[in-house]
Structure 1
Amino acid sequence: MAFTVVVGLGKSGIGAARLMHNQGQSVAVIEQEDGPEHRLCANQLQKQGIQVELGCPLEISSFVPWRNSLSAVVVGPGIPWDHPTLTALRRGGIQVRGEIDLAWSALNTIPWVGITGTNGKTTVTHLLSHILQRAGIKAPMGGNMGVSAAEIALEITTERKSKPDWLIMELSSYQIESAPTLAPQIGIWTNLTPDHLERHRTLEAYGSIKRGLLERSGLAIFNGDDPYLRSYRKFPGSGLWISSEEPHSELDPVDFWIDAEGTVHMRDIGAMFTADVLAMPGVHNRQNLLLATAAAIKIGLNPAEIALGLKSFPGLPHRLEQLGLLATASVFNDSKATNYDAASVGLKAISGPVVVLAGGQIKRGDAGCWLAQLKSKACSVILYGAGAGELEVLIRYSGYIGDLHRCSDLNEAVPISVQATINHNAASLLLSPACASLDQYKDFEARGNHFRRLIQPYLLAS
């Protein structure tokens, strides 16, 4: 009997195990942890007939129970594709697959939109799904956020969910790397800035993974405002380009853009609607609007339908989420800004002077743009968490002359930021960490929710 072993009891691993079990495959799950929550999860899977072994790290010895029947190993995106154990398994003739690869095999008769990029991909995914469903097209979303792709496949193949018209999938570099045959009907690339270099090592390696998805896509849509992506202007195939600015000439290969008066244009149609139908601040959100609009047009919607979808979009938590007013300042939760580039984009989008809360687990990357924005717009910066000391040195040596405070955590930092907002008569108070959250939180959502709870007593009643 051929066995497939799934590594990890995360969302992706559980979805993959349940999908393969439902397909009649022999499957087991190994998990290195053995806590109460893992035992509960293991018990639920075992009741469904899926074998689970806890306390099993990703080592060759953990696969010994299946040494005579192991045919494949499935991993979630959290496990490096070049992990030494996975390399050893491949050398031994064992197929190694990603969870997203399983889902693609099960769902490739349905057209996919695959959305990738360092920043903005979650917003574009939600925005496009909302626009399509508002127009009556069944277009659920999943992948790198929300429901795992394998779980969506299970719901559709067991007819617990009707077959959709399109699947709108957010795809991380980790997922793309583990699914070399994944070929969406439409691929969207939002941008590329240094991130995840602790895993991919170089920007070139990171970019080549994302480029592979676009090369396999039936139609590729690019953000022409991104300096890195502009180098792909001679991209093979029928790519579309968007820009938040008007084309400089007829030779400029921009297909969708926004003119100086704020009107959205398509080269083949002309003026369509005004960009202010989307109530989200910042140039980056205009780019997100254009990327979603380009895909929606190609799927078959008309400009009026797209405008209605954009107008009714409620926005996303933790992404420049406006929480209310503190004195004269608008308070924003941008906990999703987990790297310097994302934090820089958020700072650009809001009014200054700004009181900034930043800190957490430092990521590799170029902090130049972020530091320039701090010097330009921040009147006070409050640092917290594991990276506070390193950020303090970085900011001081950049020539920043505003107030700079260092704290242990948000519990200490929020009252200081409130007082700074009042003292400086700031226009905005912004949680924009520029760091990962894992030093003190399980994810950026938990960090943003904690900030929301801490700041709520200081906000003016609406």
Structure 2
Amino acid sequence: MGGQEVNWKDRHVTVAGLGVSGVPAARVLRGFGARVTVVNDGDDERARAQAAELEALGATVRLGDGDTLPEGTDLIVTAPGWKPAKPLFRAAAEAGVPVWGDVELAWRLRGPDAAPWLAVTGTNGKTTTVQMLASILEAAGLRTAAVGNIGVSLLDAVLAEQREDGDQYDVLAVELSSYQLHWAPSVRAHSAVVLNLAPDHLDWHGSMAAYAADKGRIYEGNRIACVYNVADPATEDLVREADVEEGCRAVGFTLGTPAPGQLGVVEGILVDRAFASPDDTEDGSRSQPERSPAELARYRRTHAQELAEIGDVTPAAPHNIANALAAAALARAFGVRPRAVRDGLRAFTPDAHRIAHVADVGGVAYVDDSKATNTHAAEASLAAYENIVWIAGGLAKGATFDELVLASVKHLRAAVLMGADRALIREALARHAPDLPVVDLERTDTGAMAEAVREAAGLARPGDTVLLAPACASMDMFVNYGRRGEAFAEAVRDLEAAHGGAEH
């Protein structure tokens, strides 16, 4: 069943799940004339309001029954979070009904002149990297947008390209989650990166191998470059296993000195030995015709192209430098010149709650990385500072913390633990850092954050960093990680006021 060539009026499509992906998908399919049935597990007030909106467009909506396959279904378009093991999908497999995600639907609906996709996935850093990439592409004068799992609908972007008054993009920076990739078998990116791999969402995928395989789908059919993390060999393994177009290159990024075919860091400079050319100039012009692959390979054995300085990346934490290198690699694969990489990185401002400096109080820095909701993200955050009073805890989602503590103990001055699963972190600290001062907060109301900040302030010394990097999800105490970070920032501001204001 293809995209633009499909006669949707002959199709009965079941949309699985309301919400941020299901409602737009149902609306788009009704616009193409498809007969649409929406099934949804929940039957709350919000779902009923969404159902009324779609029923007004001619869709049929079944609330409270997301497991039964509607009779006559030709295709299922599912919300990315619905697990493959659901009875609905088992019934679809038995009936020979294909299942697409909203990303697959967007890919199939692309027009003949659609913008290519530069795609980003990984356990951590996806949103920051795709935003950096979009900033670099914009600095190069390209019409682009950061779309996908970042919260901006790919369907909207693809359909906007097809309207006479719509945005005609040159290229799209696309963030894809493992869920989205699982349901997107046909997506073929211009170039793509897997930033890193660590255990996450294993309850959904069933195993680490299945999770990695879904991440690896992003490399399938790549045309120009498969970008991988030199420090994470599992990402390079996925490149080796991918079926790509002839001539597609494997390009690594590293925080060390890059080998030919890689991007890396030399004496505080981000450099490129994968796409460097003797014809790269400061103003982005090319004075010579394109060189042959053999000539370029010889050049890259002895030369590197300067892209930016570490100081051009905010914040300049090691994991964020890695994000910048990955974004730069994708941009360079698309032909972006060096100066645009530098200008785009300088222009980029990270979202809130991602290793964000809140204030300095009493000679102590307070940093909000509430977005560090798993152990892999927390480890990267903890590696960015020398002496840390660590605020951690929340919902562990099945995680264990021994490896995190072992990797990070050299940076820790003390820890303040809060949340439902704090005992798991406390026990790991007791095993591997028995002499570390640990405060265990029993209260689990939202006011616990203010107490955590006060306790951390009492443990910190001038020059230290009090770091909120919970390594856990937030929903035991807060609506989301954003609200958790806001509570931290509010507590720090109260501390700041008590000390007579911020330091400058």
TM-score computed with the length of structure 1 as normaliser = 0.90
Q: State whether structure 2 residue 72 is matched by structure 1 residue 46.
A: no
Q: Summarize the Cα distance change of 1:419–1:49 in structure 2 as closer, same or farther, 3 Å threshold.
A: same
Q: Deviations 1:6-36 (Å, cap 9, x if unpaired)?
A: 1211201112112212222121322222222
Quote the offset at 1:44 in angstroms: 2.9
Deviates more, 1:427-436 or 1:45-54: 45-54
Write the letter of the residue equivalent to 1:152: A
Q: State whether structure 2 residue 161 is matched by structure 1 residue 161.
A: no
Question: Structure 1 unaligned runs (5+)?
Answer: none
CA–CA distance in structure 2, aligned partners of residues 394 and 70 of structure 1: 50
Q: State whether structure 2 residue 231 is matched by structure 1 residue 225.
A: yes
Q: State whether structure 2 residue 68 is matched by structure 1 residue 34.
A: no
Deviates more, 1:446-455 or 1:18-27: 446-455
Identify the residue that residue 401 of structure 2 maps to in structure 1.
367
Deviates more, 1:123-132 or 1:332-341: 332-341
Q: Deviations 1:311-341 (Å, cap 9, x if unpaired)?
A: 1111221211112223222221111111111
Quote the offset at 1:261 in angstroms: 4.0
CA–CA distance in structure 2, aligned partners of residues 46 and 234 of structure 1: 47
CA–CA distance in structure 1, aligned partners of residues 483 and 37 of structure 2: 31
CA–CA distance in structure 2, aligned partners of residues 229 and 348 of structure 1: 21
Identify the residue that residue 238 of structure 1 maps to in structure 2.
249
Identify the residue that residue 208 of structure 2 maps to in structure 1.
203
CA–CA distance in structure 1, aligned partners of residues 268 and 158 of structure 2: 44
Identify the residue that residue 59 of structure 1 maps to in structure 2.
67
Given candidates 120, 130, 134, the residue that maps to 2:139 is 134
CA–CA distance in structure 2, aligned partners of residues 51 and 451 of structure 1: 44
Q: State whether structure 2 residue 330 is matched by structure 1 residue 295.
A: yes
Equivalent residues in 2 for 1:346-361, closer than 5 Å: 346-352=381-387, 354-361=388-395
CA–CA distance in structure 2, aligned partners of residues 176 and 418 of structure 1: 43
Identify the residue that residue 387 of structure 1 maps to in structure 2.
421
CA–CA distance in structure 2, aligned partners of residues 79 and 134 of structure 1: 37
CA–CA distance in structure 2, aligned partners of residues 440 and 211 of structure 1: 34
Quote the offset at 1:208 in angstroms: 1.7
Write the letter of the residue equivalent to 2:382: L
Write the letter of the residue equivalent to 1:83: K
Larger Rg: 2
Identify the residue that residue 90 of structure 1 maps to in structure 2.
93
Given candidates 80, 83, 107, the residue that maps to 1:80 is 83
Identify the residue that residue 425 of structure 1 maps to in structure 2.
461
Judge conservation of contact 1:356–1:431 (CA < 8 Å) in 2.
yes
Quote the offset at 1:81 in angstroms: 2.0
Quote the offset at 1:93 in angstroms: 2.6
CA–CA distance in structure 2, aligned partners of residues 198 and 367 of structure 1: 18
Judge conservation of contact 1:359–1:387 (CA < 8 Å) in 2.
yes
Query: Structure 1 runs of 4+ off > 4 angstroms?
Result: 230-237
CA–CA distance in structure 2, aligned partners of residues 443 and 424 of structure 1: 27
* Aligned residues: CA RMSD: 2.3
Identify the residue that residue 271 of structure 1 maps to in structure 2.
305
CA–CA distance in structure 2, aligned partners of residues 297 and 448 of structure 1: 34
Quote the offset at 1:158 in angstroms: 4.6
Quote the offset at 1:448 in angstroms: 2.4
Q: Summarize the Cα distance change of 1:392–1:104 in structure 2 as closer, same or farther, 3 Å threshold.
A: same
Identify the residue that residue 15 of structure 1 maps to in structure 2.
24
Q: Summarize the Cα distance change of 1:46–1:232 in structure 2 as closer, same or farther, 3 Å threshold.
A: closer
CA–CA distance in structure 2, aligned partners of residues 151 and 454 of structure 1: 39
Identify the residue that residue 340 of structure 1 maps to in structure 2.
375
CA–CA distance in structure 1, aligned partners of residues 427 and 402 of structure 2: 14
Question: Structure 2 unaligned runs (5+)?
Answer: 1-9, 243-247, 278-303
Deviates more, 1:310-319 or 1:373-382: 373-382
Identify the residue that residue 437 of structure 1 maps to in structure 2.
474
Judge conservation of contact 1:411–1:454 (CA < 8 Å) in 2.
no
Quote the offset at 1:123 in angstroms: 1.0
Judge conservation of contact 2:149–2:176 (CA < 8 Å) in 1.
yes
TM-score computed with the length of structure 2 as normaliser = 0.83
Identify the residue that residue 267 of structure 2 maps to in structure 1.
260
Quote the offset at 1:234 in angstroms: 5.0
Write the letter of the residue equivalent to 2:61: V
Identify the residue that residue 282 of structure 2 maps to in structure 1.
none
Question: Counterpart of 2:198 in 1: which secondary structure?
Answer: coil
Write the letter of the residue equivalent to 1:87: R
Q: Summarize the Cα distance change of 1:290–1:156 in structure 2 as closer, same or farther, 3 Å threshold.
A: same
Equivalent residues in 2 for 1:137-156, closer than 5 Å: 137-156=142-161
CA–CA distance in structure 1, aligned partners of residues 128 and 37 of structure 2: 35
CA–CA distance in structure 2, aligned partners of residues 96 and 160 of structure 1: 32
Identify the residue that residue 170 of structure 1 maps to in structure 2.
175
Q: Summarize the Cα distance change of 1:186–1:230 in structure 2 as closer, same or farther, 3 Å threshold.
A: closer
CA–CA distance in structure 2, aligned partners of residues 195 and 434 of structure 1: 12
CA–CA distance in structure 1, aligned partners of residues 95 and 123 of structure 2: 34
Question: Counterpart of 1:457 in 2: which secondary structure?
Answer: helix
- Length, aligned pairs only: 451
CA–CA distance in structure 1, aligned partners of residues 96 and 39 of structure 2: 20
Write the letter of the residue equivalent to 1:58: G
Quote the offset at 1:96 in angstroms: 1.7
Judge conservation of contact 1:341–1:367 (CA < 8 Å) in 2.
no
